């Protein structure tokens, strides 16, 4: 029982989880409005507006800053981790998504031309990274939640 009580009292963890939930819910709502269809995957999947990765780590880092201060080692660790996650969400994963689009298009073309047969699992996940705006909005959500709950 002390384990769960400790989790529920951990304001940093709660801020991070609430920011993630808000970003994922917003992502699903925006996707539904824009595409006129609901996809459950948007509630838990990566990529899209806003970045839940950015929201999560920014909420965590903001809550850490409020609880331990900017000069603390806890803030230093959170800041470095957040920097890596934000860079990855914007850079590496977005590029992987672009490559998936290109590879899928090439395979589609080759199948239509009869040059190859359909491959198992050839449709790659394309929506895995974020644009700078998606990361910015996710970061704003995270900082706001971190200030509110931290």
Contact residues for 99 (Cβ-Cβ < 8 A; gap 6+): none
Q: What is the pLDDT of residues 92-146, one digit of tens each?
A: 666 666 777 777 777 777 777 776 766 666 565 655 667 888 889 999 999 999 9
Contact 63, 16 (CB under 8 A): yes
- Give the model confidence (pLDDT) of 61-82 as tens digits: 999 999 999 999 999 999 999 9
Largest distance between two CA atoms of the chain: 63
Highest mean pLDDT among 29-38, 45-54, 68-77 belongs to: 68-77
pLDDT tops 70 at residue 84: yes
Query: Strand, coil or helix: what is 121?
Result: coil
58 contacts 146 by C-beta, under 8 angstroms? yes
DSSP 89: I
Count of H-run helices and E-run strands, the chain = 7, 0
The Cα 111–Cα 94 span in angstroms is: 26
- Which pLDDT score is estimated for 119? 65
SS3 assignment, position 1? coil
**Would you state the pLDDT for residue 101?**
73
Inter-residue contact 47 to 130 (CB < 8 Å): yes
- Rounded to the nearest integer, the mean pLDDT of the chain is 85
Give just the sign of the alpha carbon dihedral 103, 108, 111, 113. negative
pLDDT of residue 117: 66
E-strand spans in 65-116?
none
What is the pLDDT confidence band of residue 46, given thresholds at 50, 70 and 90?
confident
């Amino acid at each position: 029982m002390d384990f769960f009580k400790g989790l529920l009292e951990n304001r940093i963890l709660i801020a991070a989880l609430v920011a993630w939930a808000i970003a994922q819910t917003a992502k699903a709502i925006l996707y539904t409005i824009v595409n006129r269809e609901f996809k459950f995957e948007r509630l838990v999947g990566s990529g899209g507006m806003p970045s839940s990765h950015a929201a999560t780590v920014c909420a965590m880092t903001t809550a850490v800053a409020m609880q331990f201060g900017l000069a603390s080692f806890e803030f230093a660790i959170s800041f470095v981790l957040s920097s890596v996650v934000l860079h990855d969400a914007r850079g590496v994963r977005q590029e992987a998504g672009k490559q998936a689009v290109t590879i899928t298009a090439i395979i589609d073309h080759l199948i239509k031309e009869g040059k190859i047969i359909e491959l198992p699992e050839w449709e790659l996940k394309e929506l895995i990274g974020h644009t700078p705006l998606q990361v910015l909005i996710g970061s704003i959500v995270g900082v706001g939640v971190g200030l509110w709950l931290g």
